[in-house]
């Protein structure tokens, strides 16, 4: 029998039809993937199921009987749990408090008793968390486990996971998959959203593909292939993007010397990091999230002052320089969180101009015509689907990322710092971004690529540095690197530090 059946679900946002008469069913004990490009309507469909949105029309059946779900509370009541892309945890509260939140019975709240119950549940479901820990102190992977435990504690029979692996490293992904496998055996049904086809092929039983709000079809894993799925998603064949040709020996354009930095909580996040990135190469940095990548980007972007050490662009020292001085020195930056790289309420044109505002200012008055012209030019050059006067928050993730690329790359920077450039992007958009980055390399720029996606690091980098607990634990040539070796280094197994080139 079907655990869930969604019949002819339609949801409009103004003129946009995010879900167009979608039928979807989930069998008991299966892991069912939902695939689709950015904006295909996956999240929307799941938010409807979880009561966060209301469908304009359509019907939801749980265990065969029609139900009305108007809030997450209803959904939880019907045995549905959701782990969203952005975690929904209250950070000053404890794990146990988060788990029982909204579900604790009676009027009185007894902390000890709740911790006991949650400990029991964690053991029962085999989920490794410390119930009395404060969420704020947990890693991303741990937080995700809290989310899962929360759903299970609420008696979820159906678990929706929206891009759960986007924030995890391979080892954590393995743990997650093991957990899901085990839970599935106990009768849990899972809806699994991901952009990574190999993950979908690893863990799922069936796959439903959405495109532009419409359902393209549902296929059995055993009857399909990654290539077919990609074609269903984008409507054409796709090919991976790989670096071509060998790196020419060049000058170091970006030199990082003994950088030590302290994060917001006062902990040492970077310890004596030294790196050179050469003309015409991509240096990839691989690592489990939270090992100092964010701080490294922030230091290089001018938004975090290092405690010691020096940074040079060519011969120019930019240690402690402000973001605008750094861009002027010839650095193009792609931030790890694209929403943190643009001001949502401002227009596309304004976002494109702000970084180099002096160029668009005459006697401190804005040259509006120049700003518009600049935007129109970049929009057509980078094939951005937007108008210059659209507030940038209305753009899809891929288009927003293109705006950021256009802004960072159009001045032809000598150094490009790209952090998680394709996180959450669909196949097509990912391909575009990777191509653009390799264009920079081929043009002679030094590209520093930070990514938690090993496949991405391996296919683009000439050299790969691995970061662990704020230190570079090794550098390997891209041609020699294997996934196992990198994975080991990422968990702290130390390698002999080799500088290449």
Chain residues that interact with ligand ATP, rule: CB under 6 A = 13, 16, 18, 36, 38-44, 85, 394, 396-397, 424
Sequence-separated (6 or more) residues with CB below 8 Å from residue 166? 85, 194, 195, 423, 424
- From candidates 339, 387, 494, 498, binder to other proteins by CB under 8 A: 339
Q: What are phi and psi of 482, to 5 degrees?
A: -120, 160
- From candidates 186, 246, 345, 455, binder to other proteins by CB under 8 A: 345
Helix (H) or strand (E) holding 35: strand 31-35
Q: Which does 253 bind (CB under 5 to 8 A by kind): ligand ATP, Mg ion, other proteins, none?
A: none
**364 is a contact residue toward other proteins (CB under 8 A):** yes
Q: Which does 41 bind (CB under 5 to 8 A by kind): other proteins, Mg ion, ligand ATP, none?
A: ligand ATP
**Smallest distance, other proteins to C-beta of residue 300, A:** 12
Query: 397 vs 477, which CB is nearer to ligand ATP?
Result: 397
Query: 251 vs 394, which CB is nearer to other proteins?
Result: 394
* Rounded Cα distance, 211 and 37, in Å: 7
**198 is a contact residue toward other proteins (CB under 8 A):** no
Q: Work out the burial of residue 377: count CB atoms within 10 Å of its CB; fewer than 13 is exposed, 13-18 middle, 19 or more buried.
A: middle
* Rounded Cα distance, 248 and 11, in Å: 52
Contact range with other proteins by CB under 8 A, out of 178-186, 239-247, 331-339, 411-419:
331-339
**380 is a contact residue toward other proteins (CB under 8 A):** no
Classify strands 446-450 and 415-419 as parallel, antiparallel or unpaired: parallel
**267 is a contact residue toward other proteins (CB under 8 A):** no
**230 is a contact residue toward other proteins (CB under 8 A):** no
Query: 245 vs 323, which CB is nearer to other proteins?
Result: 323
Q: How many residues bind other proteins (CB under 8 A)?
A: 68
Classify strands 471-477 and 463-468 as parallel, antiparallel or unpaired: antiparallel
Q: Going residue by residue from 404 to 433, which x/- string records binding to Mg ion, judged by CB under 5 A? A: --------------------x---------
Q: What are phi and psi of 55, to 5 degrees?
A: -70, 145
**316 is a contact residue toward other proteins (CB under 8 A):** no
Q: Which does 436 bind (CB under 5 to 8 A by kind): other proteins, Mg ion, ligand ATP, none?
A: none
* Rounded Cα distance, 435 and 243, in Å: 9
Query: 137 vs 368, which CB is nearer to other proteins?
Result: 368
* Rounded Cα distance, 189 and 156, in Å: 9
**Smallest distance, other proteins to C-beta of residue 143, A:** 11
Token pair listed for 57? 């029309």
**340 is a contact residue toward other proteins (CB under 8 A):** yes
Give the residue carrying structure tokens 């069912």: 32
**366 is a contact residue toward other proteins (CB under 8 A):** yes
Rg (CA), the chain: 24
Q: Work out the burial of residue 286: count CB atoms within 10 Å of its CB; fewer than 13 is exposed, 13-18 middle, 19 or more buried.
A: buried
- From candidates 65, 107, 223, 237, binder to other proteins by CB under 8 A: 107
**474 is a contact residue toward Mg ion (CB under 5 A):** no
Q: What are phi and psi of 59, to 5 degrees?
A: -140, 145
Q: Going residue by residue from 145 to 174, which x/- string records binding to other proteins, judged by CB under 8 A? A: -----x---x--------------------
**Smallest distance, other proteins to C-beta of residue 203, A:** 24
**342 is a contact residue toward other proteins (CB under 8 A):** yes
Beta bridge partners of 162: 193
Sheet holding 65-67, edge to edge: 16-27, 2-13, 57-62, 65-67
**482 is a contact residue toward other proteins (CB under 8 A):** no
3-state secondary structure 458-491: HHHCCEEEEEECCEEEEEEECCCCCHHHHHHHHC
Give alpha helix (H) positions in 329-367: 348-354
Residue 293's nearest CA partner among 414, 472, 433, 423 is 472
**Smallest distance, other proteins to C-beta of residue 404, A:** 10
Sequence-separated (6 or more) residues with CB below 8 Å from residue 196? 165, 453
Token pair listed for 232? 């269903």
In contact, 371 and 360? CB cutoff 8 Å: yes
* Rounded Cα distance, 252 and 315, in Å: 10
* Rounded Cα distance, 497 and 495, in Å: 6
* Rounded Cα distance, 230 and 97, in Å: 41
Q: Three-state DSSP class for 211?
A: strand
Q: Going residue by residue from 15 to 54, which x/- string records binding to Mg ion, judged by CB under 5 A? A: ----------------------------x-----------
**227 is a contact residue toward other proteins (CB under 8 A):** no
Q: Which does 1 bind (CB under 5 to 8 A by kind): Mg ion, ligand ATP, other proteins, none?
A: none
**217 is a contact residue toward other proteins (CB under 8 A):** no
Query: 401 vs 440, which CB is nearer to ligand ATP?
Result: 401
Contact residues for Mg ion (CB under 5 A)? 43, 424
Contact residues for other proteins (CB under 8 A)? 13-14, 50, 52-54, 70-73, 75-76, 82, 84, 87-93, 97-98, 100-111, 150, 154, 301-303, 322-324, 326-327, 333, 335, 339-346, 350-351, 353-355, 357-358, 360-361, 364-366, 368
């Amino acid at each position: 029998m079907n655990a869930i059946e969604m019949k002819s679900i339609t949801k409009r946002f103004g003129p946009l039809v995010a879900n167009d008469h979608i039928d979807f069913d989930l069998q008991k004990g299966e892991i069912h993937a939902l695939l689709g490009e950015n904006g295909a309507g996956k999240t929307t469909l799941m938010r409807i199921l979880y009561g966060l949105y209301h469908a304009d029309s359509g019907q939801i059946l749980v265990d065969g009987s029609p139900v009305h779900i108007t809030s997450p509370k209803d959904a939880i009541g019907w045995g549905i749990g959701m782990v969203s892309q952005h975690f929904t945890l209250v950070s000053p509260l404890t794990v146990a408090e988060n788990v029982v939140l909204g579900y604790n019975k009676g009027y009185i709240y007894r902390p000890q008793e709740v911790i006991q119950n949650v400990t029991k549940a964690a053991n029962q479901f085999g989920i490794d968390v410390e119930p009395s820990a404060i969420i704020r102190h947990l890693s991303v992977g741990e937080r995700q486990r809290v989310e899962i435990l929360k759903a299970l504690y609420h008696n979820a029979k159906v678990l929706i996971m929206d891009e759960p692996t986007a924030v995890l490293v391979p080892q954590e992904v393995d743990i997650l998959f093991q957990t899901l496998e085990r839970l599935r055996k106990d009768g849990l049904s899972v809806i699994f959203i991901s952009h990574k086809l190999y993950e979908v092929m690893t863990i799922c039983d069936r796959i439903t593909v959405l495109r532009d709000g419409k359902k393209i079809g549902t296929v059995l894993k055993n009857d399909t292939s990654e290539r077919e799925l990609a074609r269903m998603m984008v409507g054409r064949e796709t090919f991976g993007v790989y670096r071509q040709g060998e790196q020419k020996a060049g000058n170091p354009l970006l030199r990082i010397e003994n950088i030590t930095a302290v994060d917001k909580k006062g902990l040492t996040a970077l310890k004596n990091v030294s790196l050179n990135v050469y003309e015409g190469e991509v240096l990839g940095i691989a690592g489990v999230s939270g090992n100092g990548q964010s701080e490294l980007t922030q230091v290089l972007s001018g938004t975090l002052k290092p405690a010691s050490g020096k940074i040079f662009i060519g011969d120019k020292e930019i240690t402690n320089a402000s973001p605008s001085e750094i861009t002027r020195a010839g650095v193009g930056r792609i931030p790890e969180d694209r929403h943190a790289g643009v001001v949502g309420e401002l227009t596309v044109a304004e976002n494109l101009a702000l970084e180099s505002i002096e160029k668009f200012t005459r006697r401190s008055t804005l040259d509006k015509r120049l700003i518009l012209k600049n935007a129109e030019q970049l929009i057509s050059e980078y094939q951005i689907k937007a108008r210059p006067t659209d507030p940038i928050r209305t753009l899809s993730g891929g288009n927003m990322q293109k705006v950021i690329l256009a802004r960072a790359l159009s001045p032809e920077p000598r150094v490009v710092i790209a952090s998680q450039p394709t996180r959450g992007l669909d196949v097509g958009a990912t391909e575009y971004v990777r191509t653009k980055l390799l264009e920079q390399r081929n043009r002679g720029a030094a590209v520093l690529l930070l990514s938690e996606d090993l496949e991405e690091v391996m296919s683009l980098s000439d050299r790969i540095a691995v970061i662990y607990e704020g230190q570079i634990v090794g550098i390997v040539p891209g041609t020699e690197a294997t996934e196992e070796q990198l994975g080991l280094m990422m968990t702290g197994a130390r390698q002999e530090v080799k500088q290449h080139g």
